[in-house]
Amino acid sequence: MTASLPAGLRERVMAATHQVRQAGQSVPEVSEDSPAEAFGHAADAFYQTLCSLTGDDWGLPVLRDLDVQGLVGHLIGVEDDVQRALAGDPGVASTDHVQSTQPAALRQAGRPTAGTREDWRRAADRTLAAVTGGDLDAVVALHGFPLRVRDLLVARTFELWTHENDIRTAAGLSLAAPAPSTLQPMTRLATALLPFGAVFTDLHEPVSVHLVLTGPGGGTWDVAVGDPSPEPAALGIVTDVVGFCRLFSNRIAPADLDVFVTGDPRLARSVLTAATALALD
């Protein structure tokens, strides 16, 4: 049996629901890692994956011209550059992410793999030590991006998780997903950077994106992308939180992401492409 609703009931019910829970809040609530915790958890997970590799796995081709050992060397180089940036060294402000770290990657060839693994672990620990007690809102410049330290740590969380999965894929292991508590700062950063991704991909059309990331660690965001406008096009995008993070890391193409869209599908593709634009290899 259905019945016509009395006038005003919809408004009354919507007002009552918003009194008990704000829009955007995911349920069940999960605690959110601090930026340093997120980076620490990603580093631990990366190290565990390295420890699970066989000797042969270290020689598998994984990314660009790098094998697994070379990729870990690249990350040793990244940690060195991060520490220089944190120390205020302008020499790493605008260097290229790959070129700057290629010498560290190439240095690993022929070394015992345990030496590479432990060198990386110590480098990651030095990064953590360098930010402990420091000003997380200080802005540092690294590889062409000025970022607050808190955002840099979360960006590095993305990088470690992404390369962990690069290695796991090369070694035939299942993909790893961050804990919901770690996903929260990752999604917060990814959604905050979406308008900048739109700038990089020349998406000027004003769009109000209602972005819903489902699953533990997800949430709902309303993000304005494109040129400012009083009447932006309304677009709704619903997708899985881990899938969106893989998209942001440029490890899945927009066309391969399982999404539910309300609004213009062409605009949705443009916005999803913008999400991939800030990923670094």
Partner 1 sequence: MEPTDPLWAARLAAGDDHALAEVFDHLAPTVYGAALRVLGEGAAAQDVVQDVFVELWRHPDRYDPKAGTLGTYLIVLARHRAVDLVRSELRRLARQERHYRLTPEGPGPTPSDAVTAADTADAVRAAVRLLPDDQRQVVELAYFQGLSYREVALATGIPEGTAKSRLRLALAKLESALDRQLLESP
27 binds partner 1, rule: CB under 8 A: yes
212 binds partner 1, rule: CB under 8 A: yes
Distance CA 91, CA 268 (A): 38
Stretch of 142-150, 178-186, 212-220, 225-233 lying at the interface with partner 1 (CB under 8 A): 212-220
235 binds partner 1, rule: CB under 8 A: no
Which one among 63, 259, 267, 277 touches partner 1, defined by CB under 8 A? 259
Residue number with CB closer to partner 1 (171 or 238):
238
Minimal distance, residue 212 CB to partner 1, in Å: 4
3 binds partner 1, rule: CB under 8 A: yes
Which one among 213, 242, 277, 278 touches partner 1, defined by CB under 8 A? 213
Which one among 219, 242, 270, 274 touches partner 1, defined by CB under 8 A? 219
Residue number with CB closer to partner 1 (29 or 118):
29
Minimal distance, residue 254 CB to partner 1, in Å: 14
20 binds partner 1, rule: CB under 8 A: yes
Structural contact between residues 163 and 71, judged by C-beta atoms closer than 8 angstroms = yes
214 binds partner 1, rule: CB under 8 A: yes
Contacts of 131 (CB under 8 A, 6+ apart): 35, 36, 86, 149, 153
255 binds partner 1, rule: CB under 8 A: no
Residue number with CB closer to partner 1 (6 or 133):
6
30 binds partner 1, rule: CB under 8 A: no
Stretch of 16-24, 63-71, 144-152, 190-198 lying at the interface with partner 1 (CB under 8 A): 16-24
Distance CA 248, CA 272 (A): 9
31 binds partner 1, rule: CB under 8 A: no
- Residues that bind partner 1 (rule: CB under 8 A) add up to a total of 38
Per-residue three-class SS string for the chain: CCCCCCCCHHHHHHHHHHHHCCCCCCCCCCCCCCHHHHHHHHHHHHHHHHHCCCCHHHHCEEECCEEHHHHHHHHHHHHHHHHHHHCCCHHHCCCCHHHHHHHHHHCCCCCCHHHHHHHHHHHHHHHHHHHCCCCCCCEEEECCEEEEHHHHHHHHHHHHHHHHHHHHHHCCCCCCCCCHHHHHHHHHHHHHHHHHHHHHCCCCCCEEEEEEEECCCCEEEEEEECCCCCCCEEEEEEEEHHHHHHHHCCCCCHHHCCEEEECCHHHHHHHHHHHCCCCCC
Which one among 114, 134, 229, 260 touches partner 1, defined by CB under 8 A? 260
Which one among 169, 181, 220, 250 touches partner 1, defined by CB under 8 A? 220
Q: Which residues bind partner 1 (CB under 8 A)?
A: 1-6, 9-10, 12-14, 16-18, 20-28, 210, 212-215, 218-220, 236, 238-239, 258-260, 262
